[in-house]
Amino acid sequence: MTKLQMWRRTLLAAAPVMLAAPHVARAQGKPEKSKVILAVGGKSALYYLSLTIAERKGFFKEAGIDVEINDFQGGAKSLQALMGGSADVVAGAYEHTIRMQQRGQDVTGFALIGRGMQICIALRNDVAARVKGPADIKGMKFGVTAPGSSTHMLLNFWAAKGGLKASDVVAIGVGAGASVIAAIEKGEVDGVSQTDPALTILTDKNLVKVLVDTRTTKGNQEVFGGAFPAASLYSQTDFIKKNPATVQALATGIVRANQWLQTATPADVANAVPEGYLLGDRAVYEKSFAGVRETISPDGTMPAGAMENCLKFLAESDPAIKPATVKLADTWNNEFAQRAAKRS
């Protein structure tokens, strides 16, 4: 081989690295946006705990970014804010990236908060006695965070297991937190599809019976066959391409929060969140966190097989989802969380 041939081969081998370098350098540089508007639905739920920790512990600011968090009733509402242009980024269920792709909209997730769904379906005790399975909930009213959110989708998924259509059950948006407890206590709903700490408070008060539980690794294995991507940071794909350093700062904040939560005591967590998140019972809040800790992502990256589990879940509960047409690779980017984890 001549020296010229050797030089050409070396140049070609280096080409991918040379092409990738500007993107990597930009992602590691100063954020393009000093302030980001982030939408979330039900921020007080443990489902979004990493977001609150990143905010309260200053992890976003340390990464060089100011995050304004707008809290909506549920994930569907925060998604609307993103698509309507009033939010740059969403902390919401990963599944929305698949749904939007099916509608011709490019949305990509980049930092995972939950590797388990963390949602339960429970019925009021006076109703639970006559429900042997999902087929028996026809016509019942369920309190979800907001129609179209993950809490609603799990309800539809379970109803489908009993041969029911989504229209066979009534989903009522009740938000998250204290409003969930009130809806059960006042008899406004027959059951709920909700997150903690509300569910633990309801069960500790002996007001409900839990029938579907995805707050543990075991529960997700039983319901979905393995890890399930839950809360995550996602945005429109074009925003991510144009603002890689901003997205990197956001991912870094979430990954640091995820890591902090792996070793924090329940008391540490209760001390870190706003007093109102405890719903008047600090001990129950700490108990709730201890129960869901294992479903919090340790590093912000997507576990193997998790996206496939989510797609299967969606297809079984929503006929509008056509798995054969979904490009899962376009719904997630692991690079930002991986880079953040390496730095920590």
Nearest-angstrom CA–CA distance, 172 and 248: 36
pLDDT at 8 over 80: no
pLDDT exceeding 70 applies to what percent of the chain? 92
* Residue 250 pLDDT exceeds 80: yes
Q: What would the pLDDT profile of 106-133 be if each residue is shown by its tens digit?
A: 999 999 999 999 999 999 999 999 999 9
Tell me if 6 sits within 8 A of 217, measured CB to CB.
Answer: no
Average confidence (pLDDT) over 267-287: 96
Residue with tokens 């280096």: 14
Domain hosting 287: range is 31-117+228-343
Residues 319 and 287 in one domain: yes
- The single-letter code of the amino acid at 212 is V
Find the angle CA(300)-CA(306)-CA(309) to the nearest 5 degrees.
150
Residue 28 has pLDDT above 70, yes or no: no
Q: What was the pLDDT predicted at 3?
A: 40
Q: 184 and 254: one domain?
A: no
| Residue 30 confidence (pLDDT) | 93
> pLDDT tens, 174-215?
998 899 999 999 999 999 999 999 999 999 999 999 999 999
**Is residue 8 domain-resident?**
no
3-state secondary structure of 268: helix
CATH number, domain containing residue 175: 3.40.190.10
67, 55 Cβ separation under 8 angstroms: yes
Mean pLDDT of the chain: 91
Question: What pTM did the predictor assign?
Answer: 0.87
Domain edge (last residue) among 213, 239, 261: 213
Q: Are residues 109 and 232 in the same domain?
A: yes
Asked whether residue 38 falls in the same domain as residue 76, the answer is: yes
3-class DSSP assignment, residue 233: strand
Same domain, 233 and 192: no
